[in-house]
Amino acid sequence: MAYGDVSVVSMMPELTNSIDDDSGSSPWTSLPTDIVEHALALLPFPYIFQVRSICKKWNSLIFCSQFQEASLRCPVPWGQFYSPRIGWKGGASPLVTWQSYNLSEGKWVSMPQFEFPTFARKFSWNLIAANGGLFCFGASDARRLLVCNPMTKRWKELLPVSLDSKAPIISHMIVDEQRNSYDILFLAEMLPADLILKSGAYCSGEFYCLTRHFLTGRYTIVILDLTMLRWRDNNIRIPEGFENYPYIVACSGQVHLVSGSSEATDTMPMASIGIFRLDPNLSSWEKVSEYSNFQFLRSTGAIYGCGAHGSKIYVVTYAYDMWIAVYNISTGIWEEPIKGNFYDMKDIFETKFSFQPNLRVAP
């Protein structure tokens, strides 16, 4: 059963009847609200979304500031997640279904469904950025923006942006949880001539862009100083021999490159995947790890995407079932690759973002 499914109520009829008892005899109804909030805050994610369906009072708890504060003090960690695919459930249903890979527990999790606001359903939307528990969706006209907290199901429509929809664009969210604010960064028409944006990573006030030369096909890293809003003078080449489907990510306060080796085999498009750490002062790369798991590499014709959360870097294949491999920077160990199952999802639009559940941050 998917987490967040309201059918969980049928599994706990005695508890449901006890809470909904109008006679006032239920011990649950006599408990002080702060005790209930603290008890529910101890539940690990995503079970909190199952108990929401017990009664209206519990369903409204996650919107309560006291409960949100209690969840922050909770010793049960909610874990780190990667959100691989999001899609419509199919048919006439406005519900959006999505699944995430739990980086903490090494398993796939079905997340609580949500739906777009009524006014937004006439547009086609793509997830263009995510950070700090928020999703940013861009409409097909490349100007309308929606920000959503999928946990609280709160939405906000932002002012339209003026961008040339034909220009190559990279978007990124920078969330300040202390101030409960966020910035959305768009890079369009700012890039030096003849360079095409491929991916980007924010680290220590600078935005690192992986680019490809329009004519030569050569990959380089260019760095944008967000304080001065100007490009740094030095461009950094990516390591030779690792130029297949490169991605750049920020992990543990440092910039890393993830790329497939240029060497192919009879059964695999790349012999291995390398992870390199950038020294921005020396403009040089240090190889952190090289991954050659046959089962994982055989499943893909390309690296579909990768990202980082906490001390972990994840790599996802382009295959439909989307195998995922996770490397832990802290331990230097690759976890056993896992594949997903998305065959019940329709009209899928794919994502390459990490996700950290957060009840406090507002769109």
DSSP, residue by residue, 92-147: T--EEEEEEEETTTTEEEEPPPEE--GGGTTS-EEEEEEETTEEEEEETTSS-EEE
Q: Are 169 and 185 in contact (CB under 8 A)?
A: no
- Each residue's pLDDT tens digit, 174-221: 887 777 788 888 776 566 678 888 888 899 889 999 999 888 889 999
pLDDT at 317: 76
Tally the C-alpha atoms within 13 A of residue 96's C-alpha that lie toward its C-beta.
22
Rounded Cα distance, 103 and 329, in Å? 13
Rounded Cα distance, 10 and 47, in Å? 15
Rounded Cα distance, 334 and 172, in Å? 27
Rounded Cα distance, 322 and 304, in Å? 8
* 262-288 average pLDDT score: 84
- 76-80, 232-236, 267-271: least confidently modelled range: 76-80
| Strand runs labelled E in 23-115 | 81-88, 95-102, 107-110, 114-115
pLDDT at 77: 58
* 28-55 average pLDDT score: 72
CATH of domain 82-354: 2.120.10.80
Average pLDDT, the chain: 75
Q: Are 256 and 247 in contact (CB under 8 A)?
A: no
- For 205, counting Cβ atoms within 10 Å of its Cβ (0-12 exposed, 13-18 middle, 19+ buried), the class is exposed
- Each residue's pLDDT tens digit, 322-347: 778 889 999 999 988 877 655 554 45
pLDDT at 90: 46
- Each residue's pLDDT tens digit, 151-184: 888 899 988 877 654 455 667 888 877 777 888 8
pLDDT at 351: 60
Domain ranges of the chain: 33-73, 82-354
Q: Are 244 and 303 in contact (CB under 8 A)?
A: yes
Residue 227 has pLDDT above 80, yes or no: yes
- Each residue's pLDDT tens digit, 64-79: 777 777 766 665 556 6
Q: In terms of Cα–Cα distance, which of 326, 320, 323, 321 is closest to 307?
A: 326
